[in-house]
A = this chain, B = another copy of it.
Amino acid sequence: MADEQQHKQLHLNAFLMGVGHHEAAWRHPRTRAQSVLDVRHFQALGQIAERGRLDSVFFADGLAVGPRIARNTLAVFEPITLLSAIAAVTERIGLIATASTTYNDPYTLARKFASLDHISGGRAGWNIVTSAGVDEAANYGLDVRPEHEKRYARASEFVDVAVKLWQSWESGSVLLDEDLGVFADPKKVHAIHHEGAHFRVRGPLNSPRSPQGRPLLVQAGSSEAGKEFAARFAEAVFTAQQSLEDGIDFYTDLKRRLPRYGRRAEGLKVLPGVVPFIGGTEAEARALESEFTELISPDYALRQLSTMLGIDLTEHALDAPLPPLPPIHAIEGNKSRYQLVKDLAEKDSLTVRELIGRLGGGRGHRTFAGTPEQLADELQLWFEAGAADGFNIMPPYLPGGLEDFVTEVVPLLQKRGIFREEYEGLTLRDHYRLEPVDGGSDGQEWQAAQ
């Protein structure tokens, strides 16, 4: 291993959404709105990220359209299906799909991820979410969204079951012995006989052990329950942090929880989000950001903000401050984002219009406008100050915003010796420098033997 690879390296995930994270991205001339319906757009993004040697690409997901259909570019593609099509045109980039533990069955979902891991040769990751939205319940026969705490309780049991299913085929269980006529060794394939409060699942999984043993487990909730869940299961955490100080607090808090679950700090990578507007000069970058801010439709943004805060702001004056907000314990949706937006508005005494502008880029994720050097400085600062093991890069417009990051910022990080020049391993788990899941991997052996 070369010397610079011994240095602590940061990790980069590209969070891809439609034609960009900025809510008005699809109206800006740097994007083609039609691309949201075109799989080739997303396949090309996967290839750009791989060219930049990023760890992974990631797709969010929600299970309802919501009331903002007129202005929302939304999710056309279901992430696992989409990532399978991206797997087919890439070789190394990790592939992280969001899926809900509230509205899925563990057997079905564990199989899907095993399948994606087989298809991609060990590049699958699962962003585990509990579906905080209010509209999702009604698509699954429920009158109201299950409570925050109950969602996380179900999520824990769900992941337990999924992990047992992925382990239900020991490594080495697939024999493919043509002479003896033995496909798999029945002694190494186990029923799991899970019986819990939420699920009864016999197993084994209907798919042999996948190349990574199981997908990378990713989590993105930052409430108390969310952090505890992350400490127990997550190998990477996406989080929204507005300031370096908040970033350090969150990072420290999360890492401190790990020993209680018998886990080491290196086993969980914290990746705060950043929405980069990149320009040749800082002024150019800021001007670009303003172009996007001006394209925001206030009525759409007001509805978005209303959903985020759980109160109706659609009739509220744009140039007034926020009305009084409910206390955090009354929030059953996305608790951590609620807190972040509340703090942001209060700290700088923002009017609603100003708040909307601040949130336009990343819905609460930090927006950064500057030169490639400035952005590299900022990322290095957070990384070395103990606020991040890497970043969730959220290009405000696509593909340009990712292309610029890869061609202008990545080489700077490489020159500074804090980001890989080449992939070191084959799997997503390798990219994140995580221990392999116990034992080898049947799939990979067969692939390697080709």
Q: Would you give the 0/1 interface string for A76-104, flagging 1 where the beta carbon is closer than 8 Å to chain B?
A: 11101110111111000000000000011
Cβ-closest chain B residue relative to A443: B37
Complex-state Cα separation, A107 to B75, whole angstroms:
14
Which residue in chain B gives the minimum CB-CB distance to A73? Answer: B183
Tell me, in angstroms, the Cα distance from A64 to B206 when the chains sit together.
5
Q: What chain B residues lie within 8 Å of A178 (beta carbons)?
A: 26-27, 33
- Which B residues are CB-close (under 8 A) to A179? 27
Which B residues touch A74, using CB under 8 A? 183, 206
Interface size class of A (residues with CB under 8 A): 35 or more
Q: Report which of B77, B103, B295, B450 forms a contact with A181, defined as CB distance below 8 A.
A: B295
Task: Verify if A449 is at the interface (C-beta below 8 Å from B).
Answer: yes
Least Cβ distance of A198 to chain B in Å?
9
Query: Which residues A396-437 have CB closer than 8 A to chain B?
Result: none
Residue of B at shortest CB range from A168?
B65
Q: Are B450 and A206 in contact (CB under 8 A)?
A: no
Inter-chain contact A26/B176, CB cutoff 8 Å: yes
Q: A116-B81, A205-B65, A446-B34 given as contacts; is B103 within 8 A of A183 (CB)? A: no
A-side interface mostly = mixed
CB of A376 within 8 Å of the partner chain: no
Q: Is A201 an interface residue (CB 8 A)?
A: yes
Are A77 and B115 closer than 8 Å at their CB atoms?
yes
A208 within 8 A of B: yes
Q: Does A344 contact B (CB under 8 A)?
A: no
Interface residue A202 (Cβ < 8 Å from any Cβ of B) = yes
- From B75, B116, B199, give the contact of A141 (CB < 8 A): B199
**Cβ of A25 to closest chain B Cβ, rounded Å:** 10
Decide: A189 near B118, CB < 8 A? Known: A111-B78, A295-B181.
no
- Within the complex, which residue of B63, B115, B297 is in contact with A81, where a contact is CB–CB below 8 Å? B115
Is A82 within 8 A of B119, CB to CB? Answer: yes
- Contacting B at CB under 8 A, from A162-192, are 174, 176, 178-179, 181-186, 189
From A27, which residue of chain B is reached at the shortest CB distance? B178
Contact of A140 among B82, B107, B181, B446 (CB under 8 A): B107
Q: Are A139 and B27 in contact (CB under 8 A)?
A: no
Assess whether A146 is interfacial by the CB under 8 Å rule. Answer: no
Chain B residue with the shortest CB-CB distance to A442? B37
Q: List 16 A-B contacts (CB under 8 A).
A: A36-B176, A63-B111, A65-B204, A75-B207, A76-B115, A76-B207, A78-B111, A81-B84, A81-B115, A81-B119, A82-B84, A84-B84, A85-B87, A85-B119, A107-B139, A139-B201
| 4 nearest CB pairs, A to B | A88-B88, A138-B202, A84-B84, A78-B115
